[in-house]
Amino acid sequence: MTSRTDSDVTLIGLGLMGTALAGALLGAGHRTTVWNRTAAKAEELVTQGALLADSVGSAVNASPVVVTCVSDYASLQQVLTPVADRLGGRVLVNLASGDSEQAREMARWTEDRGATYLDGAIMAVPPTIGTAAAVILLSGPETTFTMHQSIFDALGTTAYLGEDHGLSALYDVAGLSMMWGVLNAWLQGVALLSTAGVDAASYTPFAAQLAQETVGWLAGYADQVDRGTYPSDDATLNTHAGGMTHLIEESERLGVNAELPRLFKALVDRAIAAGQGGRSYPVLIEQFAQPHATSR
């Protein structure tokens, strides 16, 4: 019988993602115990060397580190509540998606049972798990992350974000906002150029160059946001507003959807009405850092 070590790991939840995670752990040589509500999903992993636990309790008992990847936090509570008394002294790592408050609440629940909690968010699809392309965000106690880093490194490129358990979920949604912001802006341009017979492939190198140039502004603008000072040494909000009007009118004239540029302009108009028209673009953080009065 193989003796147990700190690198032993239990994986609970063998859906598409959990199966990929377990496969990567086995591939990296970790003694991996698995459990899934529908046990048949473990068959292939067992042929690869996984140990199939006959109950959630046995799965938790099997390893010092228990990684979970079920659908959501409600499912996780259903799975773990009956075996909560077995968590003491272990490390629970939840990789299911959720929000920052769920992560912090899960941390409190876990710590009340004498266990340590890391919360994670997977920025990847199952086929990339186990490769550098799979980015896994983790937050919680740094010493716990460091102690078990070999387990996380087996899953992909791990990024430790800090002690606050909510950080993984917050970076996750912030990343999605960045992604959809870029994609929607690109699609607006594709639609505009298509009215002149320019296809998406022809327009895209220009779009990519502009996106890269804009990304280059972010570090300086982040400095402005962190300092709370917005010197208008490049372009003022008033100047941006003029360009936005141009984008809205061109879109409308060509029969292209103008909702997105109208949203840009609405935010800028509110900042100008608040007396910010002479400041630089990131002063708009004041519009983003609060709920919109009519959005609730």
Binding site for ligand NAP (CB under 6 A): 13-18, 36-38, 41, 69-72, 75, 78-79, 96-97, 122, 125-126
- DSSP secondary structure string for all residues of 210-250: HHHHHHHHHHHHHHHHHHT----SS-BHHHHHHHHHHHHHH
C-beta closer to ligand NAP: residue 37 or 270: 37
Burial category of 27 from C-beta neighbours within 10 Å (exposed 0-12, middle 13-18, buried 19 and up): middle
- Nearer to ligand NAP among residue 134 and residue 284 (C-beta): 134
Taking the least distance from each CB to ligand NAP, the nearer of 91 and 169 is 169
Distance of alpha carbon 151 from alpha carbon 46, whole angstroms: 19
- We find the least distance from the C-beta atom of residue 269 to ligand NAP, in angstroms, to be 37
| In the chain, beta strands by DSSP E | 9-12, 32-35, 51-52, 65-68, 91-94, 116-123, 135-139, 157-162
Least distance (Å) between residue 71 CB and ligand NAP = 4
Rounded Cα distance, 95 and 81, in Å: 17
Q: How far is the CB of 76 from ligand NAP (least distance, A)?
A: 8
Q: In angstroms, what is the C-alpha Rg of the chain?
A: 24
Residue whose Cβ sits closest to ligand NAP: 15
Nearer residue to ligand NAP within complex by CB, 122 or 283 = 122
Spatial separation of the C-alpha atoms in residues 120 and 171, rounded to whole Å: 10
Closest approach, Cβ 13 to ligand NAP, in A, equals: 4
> Count of residues for the chain?
296
Q: Which is nearer to ligand NAP, 50 or 122 (CB)?
A: 122
Cα distance between residue 229 and residue 209, in whole Å = 28
Q: In which residue are the tokens 């929000």 written?
A: 99
Cβ neighbour number for residue 24 with a 10 Å cutoff: 23
CB within 8 A of 294, min separation 6: which ones?
none
The smaller minimum CB distance to ligand NAP, of residues 126 and 278, is found at: 126
Least CB distance to ligand NAP at residue 2 (A)? 26
- Contact present, 117 and 111 (Cβ < 8 Å): yes
Nearer to ligand NAP, 170 or 248 (CB): 170
At residue 6, the 3 state secondary structure works out as coil
Instruction: Name the minimum Å distance from CB 14 to ligand NAP.
Output: 5
Least CB distance from residue 39 to ligand NAP, whole Å? 8
Q: Least Å distance between CB 104 and ligand NAP?
A: 17
- Looking at beta carbons only, is 54 or 233 nearer to ligand NAP? 54
